Each structure stands twice: as C-alpha cells, then as structure tokens.
Amino acid sequence: MTLMHLSGITLYPLKSGAGISVPRWEVEELGLRYDRRWMAVTPRGEFLTQREHPRLALIRPEIRPPHLVLQAPDQADLVTALDPLGGRPISTRVWDDPLVVVAPDHEADAWLSEALQQECLLAHFPVTLVREVDRDHAPRGGRTGFADGFPFLLIGQDSLGELNRRLPRPLPMNRFRPNLVVHGSSPFAEDGWRRIRIGPVPMEVVKPCARCVMTTTDQVAGRRDGDEPLRTLATFRRVNGQVMFGQNLVHYGTGVLKVGDPVHVE
C-alpha cells in the first residue's frame, strides 16, 4: 500500500501572479506565509486576475527578506517591502467580501501599471485585517487573505494524471495553481475527504473548486491556449453547470509543512 504524502508546496505572493514552489514553508493563521498577500487593483477598487489579464502569469515573485521582488519581461525588477508598515487605505473587494487594504508604494503602482498595461495599484493585505471564510462551507470558520475564498487549494497528482489521460495533450499542474499536491492517492480521492492532517497541520476539505478560464492560460507564456482543459473536464467533472477540479481547504493549526510530509485522512 502506497502511503500518501505531500509532493508539492506552492505559494502565490501576488494573486494571479506566478507561483513559488518550495520544499518547506510555514503555515500561519491566514495560510501559507505570504501567500496571496498582494493583489492588483484598479483605481476604482476592482481586483484584477488572470481571468481578465493573463499577463499576470508573467509576473514572477521572489521572497528575499525583508523584500518582495517582482520581475516582469522587459522591466527592471521591483523591490518593495515584504512586510510594509502602512500605506494609503484603499477600498476593494474579493468577490462578495468588501475590504479596506493598503497601497504602500507609489513606485510599485507605476511598475505594476506598466507590467499590465493598465493603470492599477499594488495592494497589500495587512496581517491585522480579518477576512473570514464562508461559514456555509466551513462552519468552524477560519481566515484567508486575497485568495478567492479559502486559504488552501489541494489537488491529487493522480487526479491530474487521470485528466491528462483524457486530454489531447497533457497539461502541467501549474495550470490549476494548487498550493498543495498530494501523491499516492487514487484519482479524485480528495473529493471524498473531509478531515485530513498534513504533517503537523489539521485541515478540513470544505468545497470543490469550480474551474474557470484561468485554466486555459499558459502559465509560462502568459496567454490563452485554446479551450482545454475546460472542454474535457466538462465531459466528466460537471456539477450544477460548473466543472470541478481540486478541493478548497481550511486549516485549524499552524506549523511547518514539508514536501514528503505524510497525509492522513481522518
């Protein structure tokens, strides 16, 4: 019997930007440390993602304490504070959640506007801000940052394998932007999980992830790449008019996750 283990950890400091794969990382109250703590926002407060701006995939972050470094094609690197102490308050929202966050760096705003070819601000999620997860799905509650709704997205490696078996050409895991990848489970086993423990951190599986046009974005090129995997997912993963792939999780503890950590279903 193959023991399940954590085979991948990825954080996305800038919402919809490129990810950083790490061998180990700290879990805080909001999720992976520095995961989706930054977001592109229009001057009117509308948040921007790869749904409208696939070029966001070309923005590659690096964490070099005490700095966050953002890189984009044909631009000098942006170096800004990883833990800013303040900034201009701005009103925005993530879906149905109104938020008052901060824009701490005018230079960062100009850099991001050039990268996306649209006027925007680089917003930061203060650690003191409380944004609760949807208790309809997670009755025990929890907090998250700029994530769509929950602090973690998990996908089984064999779930991607089964999808790729059906696709005209295989796609990499980065199309689906999970935080956590599990090896050793059967395809789509995560659909039936409820309480799990990854290494030292207890978690609950609270909601399937409905997939959108972002999955059709080539994460290396920063552009749309046809209608897969949505076309194929719709043939066998459609639920109430949406296609599902991956599971959203809420955590109920902190600690350090490491690639290789055992995954226990409770």
Q: 240 phi and psi, to 5 degrees?
A: 50, 40
Domain boundaries defined on the chain: 5-31+133-265, 37-124
The pLDDT > 70 percentage for the chain reads 99
212-236 pLDDT, tens digit per residue, is: 999 999 999 999 999 999 999 999 9
Q: 256 phi and psi, to 5 degrees?
A: -115, 125
Question: By C-alpha distance, which of 82, 77, 127, 84 is closest to 103?
Answer: 84
| Residue 27 pLDDT > 50 | yes
The predicted structure's pLDDT at residue 2: 57
Q: Is 5-31+133-265 CATH 2.40.33.20?
A: yes
Under 8 Å CB-to-CB from 100, ≥6 apart: which residues? Answer: 89, 90, 91, 92, 129
Mean predicted confidence (pLDDT) in 74-83 = 97
144-188 pLDDT, tens digit per residue, is: 999 999 999 999 999 999 999 999 999 999 999 999 999 999 999
The predicted structure's pLDDT at residue 68: 98
The pLDDT > 90 percentage for the chain reads 98
d(CA 187, CA 202): 22
DSSP per-residue codes, the chain? -PPPEEEEEEE-SBTTS--EE-SEEEEETTEETTTT-EEEE-TTS-EE-TTT-GGGGG-EEEEETTEEEEE-TTSPPEEEESS-S--EEEEEEETTEEEEEEE--HHHHHHHHHHHTS--EEEE--TT---B--TTT-TT--B-SSSSSSSEEEEEHHHHHHHHHHSSS---GGGT--SEEEESSPTTGGGG--EEEETTEEEEEEEEEE--GGGGEETTTTEE-SSTTHHHHHHH-EETTEEEEEEEEEES--EEEETT-BEEE-
The predicted structure's pLDDT at residue 1: 41
243-257 pLDDT, tens digit per residue, is: 999 999 999 999 999
